[in-house]
Amino acid sequence: KLYLVVELCEGGELGGCIKKIGPLPEETVKQIMSKLISALHYLHKMNIVHRDLKLENILLKNSPINKTDEFDIRVTDFGLSSKQSITSTDSLFYDYCGTPLYMAPEILENKNYSALCDVWAMGVIMYYLICGRHPYVSNDERRLLEIIRSQKLRFDSEKFRNISSEGLDFLQGMLVYDTVHRRTMGELIVHPWLTGRSDREPAKDIITMMREFQAENDQRQILVENNLTTLINATANHINLS
């Protein structure tokens, strides 16, 4: 017999926890999504695609009581995961697999798909964390695909009123039907909603570079002025001597 010793996750499934304590505030959602994206970004860098990411496959190390508690998550169940041949999101899979409510539309359409299927699933998870329900619901997979195709997601309900514009942008970027416009894991991990920096704010290293450039310019200007002064004085002396 083969025995596997695994980490004890006393908090159970993330989905079960949300059913108990209800939808979460934005800061707690950000805390969870930051950890989830960090884990998936690492997997994708290792060329591994989960392909069955869902609330039931995210376990909690602890048992949060309040909505503002720390959610120490673990991504589990790699039974359907697969290794890509290359790191590019263009590396395609062909087999139909996953859990319908979390499956990307390209899988439901029986098309080739890439690591971006995990991004869609993360969007479904984030949506659920905010409002306590899935963005698209149907027991029939064909009907589910029709709903995804025809119904544009609305974020004007009461649950989304307290979500920042950057938080909504982050969520919308994952639940994009067309994979060409769906955000990649690399784009998500540096999104202002996670990093806490607005796109309008220059990065610190850029500011440093600008200051160094300005300092160099100041030094050049001083050097030019000194050389010009020396040249003028030399010219004046030459005129006087003449």
Catalytic positions: 52
CA dist 182 and 200 (Å) reads 22
Q: Which residue(s) pair with 83 in the sheet?
A: 48
In the beta sheet, which residues pair with residue 113?
93
Instruction: Read off the DSSP letter of residue 75.
Output: E
Cα separation, 6 vs 91, whole angstroms:
31
State both tokens at 89: 């999101």
**Phi (first) and psi of residue 234, to 5 degrees:** -65, -40
In angstroms, rounded to a whole number, what is the distance separating the alpha carbons of residues 115 and 50? 8
Packing angle of the helix pair 116-131, 14-21 (nearest 10 deg): 20
